[in-house]
Structure formats: structure tokens, C-alpha cells
């Protein structure tokens, strides 16, 4: 699949918002901690007046604020794995995420362990469905605890900002320098002239996204989204079970689908291929008998 143009400015802006959110949550947690200990140092008579406040503060300290922090950490961790800027700042936020995840994770595991111990040490008669309910709840809490202990060491993004930029540069280079000869040599077939024309500088398929209407602009029951042109490169060759002719992926659509040409004739058929990860009923289907017909479909820029 061709890479999308990296939008570093937007990604960094979102990352800065996530950082500020995590810092604010951490400061709120420290403020609650200070208030909790402040109430604890009051004389017993005064402390009783603040009993309900202490309970609310303890719930916020142990569950409320950490839960919000964990949700924020899920988004921030992905940004830190992707971003290539600010190593010192990234280390601070990674430590913050580590402390938050491990604190909440150990609490979850502790609650799960106490729940299991309480089943065996209780003197009351417990019904079987109560035991099952406690075990299921304990398993879920324990799973959350294990996940939080593992999360700081996981990697949420397959590629970094630098790698995405390099992939985009390579994609652009292959797009403006099509390797028609290499494709024809590898397939022993001539490429259609209409396919070669896609890579001309004035080609509308080279840089634009389209919504295709096979039945006309007035009929939107069958439409296809064209997102990007695939480079004319040997890596774009495909094969399909039961078809001896090679296929050539020439475009990308929505839901990671691919537009294929069945090479051989001068005006080949066009196929739409969905990756196995999608829930498409038909993984690979023919959508046009002729490439010229496909190119002539009414379309709107999207």
C-alpha cells in the first residue's frame, strides 16, 4: 500500500495537547494528594468534619484521576512512539506514563488478589454463581493490571515520523520515475498505453482523489473512492488464485482496497481487491471489463 502524505504539523499539535493534558492530570493528582494528607494532619475532631471529603479524595486518588490519566496515556504513548523530536521531553513523559500505568496496574492486581483470597477465607456460605461472578470480575481486573504493567514497554506505532517521511519520499520518487521496462521484462507483457498515460505530468489521476460513478453522477448506489495512484514498480505486481495472468495494482481506494489491471490485452479488465482484514463479501471482483471504460466513468474530485 502506498503511504499517505505525512501531516507532521497536525500530529505535533495534537501531541502537544496530549502532553498538556497529561501534565494537568498529574498536577490535579498531586493537589488531591496534598489535600488528602492535609486533612489527615488535622486534629481528630476537625478530621471528622471532613470525613466525606476524605472519602471522595481517596476515590479520586486511587481510581478517578488515574483512570483519566491512563486514557490520556493511550493517546500520548502512540505520539511518543511516532515523534522524532524532543528526546528529553519524551523521556519525562515516558516516565510519567510508566509511573501511572504501574501504579494503577499494581492496584488492579492487588484488588484481584484480595478478591481471590476473600473467597477462601470467608466464613459465610457462598453460592456457586457468586463464586463465578467474583472470579470473572477478578480475571477482568487482573487482565487490566497486567495490560497496564506491559503497556509502557509496548510500541503503538509501526513506523516513526522519520520512517514515514522516508517512505513518502520513496513513493514520490517511484511515482515520477515509472519503471515500465522493468514491469514488461518481469511479466513478458506489454503495458497498456492508457496505463502509461496515468503517469504523465498532466494526468488527473496522478495527484487527485476521485469519487467514481460507474452508473452516472445521478446514481450513487455504486461508487468507488480513488485515493492514490500506485507507482509503476515491480512491487505493484499481484497474483490471484485461479488466474494465470499477472495483475498490476495501479491505484488505492478506501478501506485499503486496491484497483488491479489483469495484464495481457491492450485494454485489460479492472478488478477491485480487498485485503483479508476487511469484511468484504468478495475479496477480489471484476468491476469493469475494459480499462478504457473505467477511465471514462463519470467522476467528482473528492
144 and 238 share a domain? no
188 and 154 share a domain? no
One DSSP character per residue, 61-87 reads IIIIHHHHHHHHHHHHHHHHHH--S-H
Per-residue pLDDT tens for 96-149?
888 888 888 888 888 888 888 877 776 666 677 777 887 888 888 889 889 989
pLDDT at 82 over 70: yes
133 and 261 share a domain? no
Cβ count near 289 (within 10 Å): 12
- Number of structural domains, the chain? 2
Q: Tell me the residue range of the domain where 76 lies.
A: 8-163
- What is the chain's mean pLDDT, rounded? 85
154 and 60 share a domain? yes
Q: Decide if 169 is inside a domain.
A: no
133 and 24 share a domain? yes
pLDDT at 5 over 70: no
Question: In the prediction, which pLDDT does 125 show?
Answer: 66
pLDDT at 278 over 70: no
126 and 190 share a domain? no
148 and 193 share a domain? no
Q: Which positions ≥6 away from 18 have C-beta within 8 Å?
A: 72, 75, 76, 79
Closest CA to 288 of 222, 196, 241: 222
Q: What is each CA distance from 267 to 63, 182, 262, 294, in whole angstroms?
A: 64, 20, 9, 10
pLDDT at 199 over 90: yes
Closest CA to 291 of 262, 269, 275, 260: 269
Q: Decide if 1 is inside a domain.
A: no
Q: Decide if 3 is inside a domain.
A: no
What is the separation, in whole angstroms, between the first and last Cα of the chain? Answer: 20
136, 163, 190 - which closes a domain = 163
pLDDT at 198 over 60: yes
DSSP H or E stretch at residue 24: helix 8-40
Q: Which positions ≥6 away from 131 have C-beta within 8 Å?
A: 119
Question: In the prediction, which pLDDT does 279 show?
Answer: 47
128, 163, 198 - which closes a domain = 163
149 and 65 share a domain? yes
Per-residue pLDDT tens for 153-196?
888 777 888 888 888 888 899 999 999 999 999 999 999 999 99
Question: In the prediction, which pLDDT does 8 show?
Answer: 66
Amino acid at each position: 500500500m502506498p503511504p499517505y502524505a505525512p501531516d507532521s504539523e497536525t500530529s505535533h499539535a495534537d501531541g502537544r495537547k496530549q502532553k498538556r493534558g497529561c501534565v494537568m492530570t498529574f498536577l490535579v493528582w498531586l493537589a488531591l494528594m496534598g489535600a488528602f494528607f492535609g486533612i489527615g494532619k488535622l486534629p481528630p475532631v476537625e478530621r471528622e468534619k471532613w470525613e466525606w471529603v476524605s472519602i471522595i479524595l481517596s476515590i479520586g486518588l486511587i481510581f478517578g484521576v488515574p483512570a483519566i490519566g491512563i486514557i490520556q496515556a493511550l493517546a500520548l504513548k502512540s505520539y511518543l512512539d511516532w515523534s522524532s523530536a524532543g528526546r528529553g521531553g519524551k523521556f519525562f513523559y515516558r516516565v510519567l506514563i510508566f509511573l501511572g500505568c504501574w501504579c494503577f496496574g499494581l492496584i488492579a492486581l492487588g484488588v484481584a488478589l484480595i478478591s481471590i483470597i476473600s473467597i477462601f477465607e470467608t466464613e459465610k456460605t457462598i453460592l456457586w454463581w457468586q463464586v463465578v461472578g467474583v472470579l470473572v470480575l477478578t480475571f477482568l481486573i487482573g487482565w487490566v493490571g497486567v495490560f497496564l504493567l506491559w503497556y509502557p514497554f509496548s510500541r503503538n506505532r509501526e513506523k516513526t515520523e522519520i520512517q514515514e517521511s522516508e517512505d513518502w519520499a520513496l513513493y514520490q520518487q517511484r511515482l515520477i520515475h515509472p519503471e515500465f521496462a522493468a514491469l514488461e521484462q518481469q511479466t513478458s507483457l506489454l503495458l497498456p498505453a492508457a496505463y502509461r498515460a496515468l503517469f504523465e505530468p498532466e494526468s488527473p489521476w496522478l495527484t487527485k482523489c476521485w469519487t467514481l460513478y460507474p452508473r452516472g453522477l445521478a446514481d450513487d448506489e455504486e461508487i468507488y473512492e480513488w485515493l492514490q495512484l500506485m507507482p509503476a514498480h515491480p512491487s505493484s505486481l499481484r497474483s490471484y488464485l485461479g488466474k494465470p495472468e499477472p495483475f498490476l495494482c495501479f491505484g488505492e481506494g478506501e478501506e485499503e482496497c486496491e484497483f488491479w489491471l489483469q495484464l495481457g490485452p491492450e485494454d485489460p479488465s479492472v478488478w477491485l481487491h480487498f485485503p483479508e482484514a476487511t469484511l468484504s463479501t468478495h475479496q477480489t471482483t471484476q468491476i469493469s471489463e475494459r480499462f478504457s471504460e473505467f477511465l471514462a466513468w463519470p467522476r467528482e474530485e473528492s
